[in-house]
Structure 1
Amino acid sequence: MSFRFRPNPSDWLLSDKILNEADREIVANAKVHSEFDVPYVAGYSVDGERFYIDRNLPKSFQHEGRPFVVRTTLILHEVVEKALEKEAAGIPYQLAHQIALRAERAAAEAANISWDVYNNWFDTQIKEIGSRDRYDNCPPDLDLQPYLDERDWSTLEKMYANGKPLWNGKKS
């Protein structure tokens, strides 16, 4: 592999420290809202300017006596996913989700949380948040493409913002 620059002795191609720093930087620059109902736990606005975390998602969980704040890894996932859907890549949700999931996993592991621990905790949250009968307080500009790509009609029918259905009923 060749480089256009000479790395410093302290630079590494793969660095947990640098990944953690990048993750923190992304979260610091993202406009994150956590006062809404978000059936898939987290999401983003249609224009990609805002990111949403469900109002009932705990901010952290305890692992081996220390708290792990989930916001950083979760927002990293959403930022990567939306960027891949929105920009030149223009790939479908399922493909963007897979790449974002890998970035999320790398960030969790860089923060010394095993993927199994992290994923098991999230599975519980996903089941709890995803089992609601109705989502009355969704962000009005929530990007519905992930729900449409998943053909998740039943969830789409339960999503409301300001008393109005979020979805127009079109299955396209």
Structure 2
Amino acid sequence: MLADSEIHHKSEGVDARVLSDVVAALNRRVTISHEFDIPYIAGYSVDAKTVYIDRHLPRTLKVRNKDVRIEPFLVVHEIVEKALLDELRLHYLHAHQIASRIERDSVRTSGIRWIDYQRFMKRHEKAIDEEALKKVPADLDLTPYKDLDDYALLRRLTNVRS
């Protein structure tokens, strides 16, 4: 069984090594695309098989003169959020909050200060939100935008979907 082979560390408490195992396992379960314009930085396909990360977002964050890939943190957030929406039928705002906590713990486990990661994301989020959408995946799940009643963005998204 795949899940059994992914367990490298065991702990009853919240353990950084266990969380690293989970992040790695989740990243293996999806295809990741950096080819599209994705509002709010990242999103997922309707079938949950693809995580989309905005094509303009840099792939690394510099931490103590070292480039750290940010993709695993975004992927874990998007997978958890999508699972909570689909499997438990949570409202987007609740699913997003839980996914953000897991993303935060994943970031911290990697030795990155959450405030530094957030600053990096906020610096790129505004530019991404204001960009002219030119290339949007046809299977992008629109639930977050619907749940937020972001009708203007929904119109822009549906007009340019590939």
Give, in whole Å, the separation in 2 of the partners of 1:13 and 1:80. Answer: 20
In the alignment, structure 2 segments of 5+ residues that lack a partner are 1-9
Partner of 1:47: 47
Q: Share of identical aligned residues, percent?
A: 34
Two-structure CA RMSD over aligned residues (Å): 1.3
Partner of 2:128: 129
Partner of 2:118: 119
Alignment of 1:44-123 (within 5 A): 44-87=44-87, 89-123=88-122
Q: Which of 126, 135, 154 matches 1:156?
A: 154
Structure 1 residue 15, shift from structure 2 partner: 1.2
2:30 touches 2:51 (CA, 8 Å); kept in 1? yes
Give, in whole Å, the separation in 2 of the partners of 1:37 and 1:103. Answer: 24
Structure whose residues are more often strand by fraction: 1
Give, in whole Å, the separation in 2 of the partners of 1:11 and 1:104. Answer: 19
Q: After superposition, give the CA deviation of every residue in 1:70-118 in whole Å (9 maximum; x if it has no partner).
A: 100000000000000001x110111000000000000000001111101
Structure 1 residue 29, shift from structure 2 partner: 2.2
Structure 1 residue 150, shift from structure 2 partner: 0.9
The structure with the larger Rg is: 1
Q: After superposition, give the CA deviation of every residue in 1:24-77 in whole Å (9 maximum; x if it has no partner).
A: 221122111110111121101112121111111111010111112110000000
Partner of 1:7: none
Q: After superposition, give the CA deviation of every residue in 1:118-149 in whole Å (9 maximum; x if it has no partner).
A: 111111111110011x2121010101110111
Give, in whole Å, the separation in 1 of the partners of 2:102 and 2:11. Answer: 20
Partner of 1:36: 36
Give, in whole Å, the separation in 2 of the partners of 1:22 and 1:80. Answer: 11
Give, in whole Å, the separation in 1 of the partners of 2:68 and 2:17. Answer: 16
2:29 touches 2:49 (CA, 8 Å); kept in 1? no
Give, in whole Å, the separation in 2 of the partners of 1:52 and 1:90. Answer: 21
Give, in whole Å, the separation in 2 of the partners of 1:153 and 1:14. Answer: 39
Partner AA of 1:65 in structure 2: N
Q: How many residues align?
A: 151
Over 3 Å off, 4+ runs: none
Partner AA of 1:34 in structure 2: H
Question: TM (normalized to structure 1)?
Answer: 0.83
Give, in whole Å, the separation in 2 of the partners of 1:54 and 1:155. Answer: 15
Structure whose residues are more often helix by fraction: 2
Instruction: Describe the SS at the equivalent of 1:84.
Output: helix
